[in-house]
């Protein structure tokens, strides 16, 4: 049997990680892997997470299974964080292994509920989106999103493409901090997107992986809340990896919004899908998130540290834009300061990206997506000079 298997294509980011580790140059810079790093290059455990873990260690009395959907308190706390008040009567939810697990379960639910529904993805999008859709054998289409010439949004193309979405198809939207471009829709643009999708009878699937990394915890949830309020049905896949810094705990959630009358049936189907894939979801990260969100002091400290993280990335963006302006004597890269979240796509050619790696020990994905959080005040001017050298 196993001799029939063919080699699978290697993940480009994982390849990049391996190449970076093997590079023995002291001044190498890793801008590929999508994790937050502080000025020392460490991905720290947040203060509130450490405090919650200590409390959990002192009070936890069992490691028995949780429910198929995870703990109801987790779903309630995280749904409240994402959507605010007023949706509990129509929100079914399951805990998932990270945001990737939430996306996978969302697609499984779509396939179960509406076989043949096409999944529309932004061009570009997170590479795992099309990978999972194709693996599941689901129809896939793209809508224009990024304008390479301006490093902004091709909004006219986006609207034109969304106006061709057939009724019943699913459109995946990035709730904030678009990955990989960092270019976000404005509130007015979100209103227009929502109006078009409603008129087309499409179903939105929001991927919310970076709440709190862009313009703030509440501001980053605004678009998702607009979607929730505007549509009779919507799916929301969210991750706690970034905003709680618990990457390895694999903590996510899938929220399915429908009518209160159908909530029990939807919840039963979500539970069924968890049972088929991994039975009971992981609980440690979910329990920490619940403890933090339910405890006023822990929540306040978490929000304060999250804001420090956000402001650090904004400062790095501004510094990088300024250093690139000086190094290139142009405003070509000013957009970096306007983008939000961990990522921006610089608009370099693949050959230039290779030269950055080989000549300057700067590692980034082939499409020139960089992780802003991989920088610090010392390495920003180093990067700017290297980019100027390869242009």
Torsion-angle region of 57 (φ positive above 0: left; ψ -120 to 50: alpha; else: beta) = alpha
Long-range residue pairs from 144-150, CB within 8 A, at least 24 positions apart, any chain: 145/178, 145/181, 145/183, 146/122, 146/181, 146/183, 146/345, 148/347, 150/335
Q: Which residues contact 53 (CB under 8 A, 6 or more apart)?
A: 288
Cα separation of 78 and 329, whole Å? 46
- The catalytic residue among 37, 228, 242, 256 is 242
- The catalytic residue among 91, 117, 209, 237 is 209
Runs of H (alpha helix) within 186-333: 187-200, 222-230, 263-277, 284-294, 296-328
HSE-up of residue 84 (Cα within 13 Å, Cβ side): 14
- The catalytic residue among 30, 154, 169, 207 is 207
72, two tokens = 């109801």
Whether 209 is catalytic:
yes
Cα separation of 354 and 215, whole Å? 32
Strand pairing class (251-257; 343-345): unpaired
- The catalytic residue among 37, 92, 118, 126 is 126
Runs of H (alpha helix) within the chain: 12-22, 47-59, 72-83, 98-113, 128-135, 155-162, 187-200, 222-230, 263-277, 284-294, 296-328, 335-338, 350-360, 379-390
Whether 207 is catalytic:
yes
Residue 300: Cβ within 10 Å count = 12
Q: Which residues contact 154 (CB under 8 A, 6 or more apart)?
A: 144, 145, 146, 147
**Triad 341, 84, 46: Cα angle to 5°:** 45
Which residues form the catalytic set? Answer: 126, 207, 209, 242
């Amino acid at each position: 049997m196993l001799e029939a298997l063919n080699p699978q294509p290697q993940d480009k980011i994982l390849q990049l990680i391996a190449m970076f580790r093997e590079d023995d140059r002291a001044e190498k810079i890793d801008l590929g892997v999508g994790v937050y790093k502080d000025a020392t290059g460490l991905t720290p455990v947040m203060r509130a997470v450490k405090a919650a873990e200590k409390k959990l260690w002192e009070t936890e009395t069992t490691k028995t299974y949780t429910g198929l959907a995870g703990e109801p308190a987790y779903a309630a706390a995280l749904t409240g964080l994402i959507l605010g008040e007023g949706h509990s009567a129509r929100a079914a939810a399951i805990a998932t292994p990270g945001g990737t697990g939430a996306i996978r379960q969302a697609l499984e639910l779509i396939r179960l509920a509406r076989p043949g529904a096409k999944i529309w993805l932004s061009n570009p999008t997170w590479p795992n989106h099309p990978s999972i859709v194709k693996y599941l054998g689901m129809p896939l289409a793209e809508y224009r999103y990024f304008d390479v010439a301006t490093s902004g949004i091709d909004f006219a193309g986006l609207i034109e493409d969304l106006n061709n979405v057939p009724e019943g198809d699913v459109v995946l939207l990035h709730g904030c901090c678009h990955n990989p471009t960092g270019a976000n829709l404005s509130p007015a643009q979100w209103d227009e997107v929502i109006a078009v999708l409603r008129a087309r009878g499409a179903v939105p699937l929001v991927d919310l992986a970076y709440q709190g990394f862009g313009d703030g915890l509440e501001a980053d949830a605004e678009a998702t809340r607009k979607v929730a309020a505007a549509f009779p049905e919507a799916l929301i896949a969210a991750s706690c990896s970034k905003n709680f810094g618990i990457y390895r705990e694999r903590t996510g959630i899938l929220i399915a919004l429908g009518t209160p009358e159908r909530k029990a049936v939807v919840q039963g189907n979500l539970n069924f899908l968890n049972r088929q894939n991994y039975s009971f979801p992981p609980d440690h990260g979910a329990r920490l998130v619940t403890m933090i969100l339910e405890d006023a002091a822990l929540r306040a400290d978490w929000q304060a540290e999250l804001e420090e993280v956000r402001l650090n990335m904004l400062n790095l963006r501004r510094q990088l834009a300024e250093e690139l302006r000086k190094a290139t004597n142009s405003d070509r890269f000013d957009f970096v300061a306007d983008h939000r979240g961990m990522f921006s796509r610089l608009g370099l050619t693949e050959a230039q990206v290779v030269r950055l790696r080989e000549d300057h020990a700067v590692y980034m994905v082939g499409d020139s997506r960089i992780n802003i959080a991989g920088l610090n005040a010392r390495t920003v001017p180093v990067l700017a000079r290297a980019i100027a050298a390869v242009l």
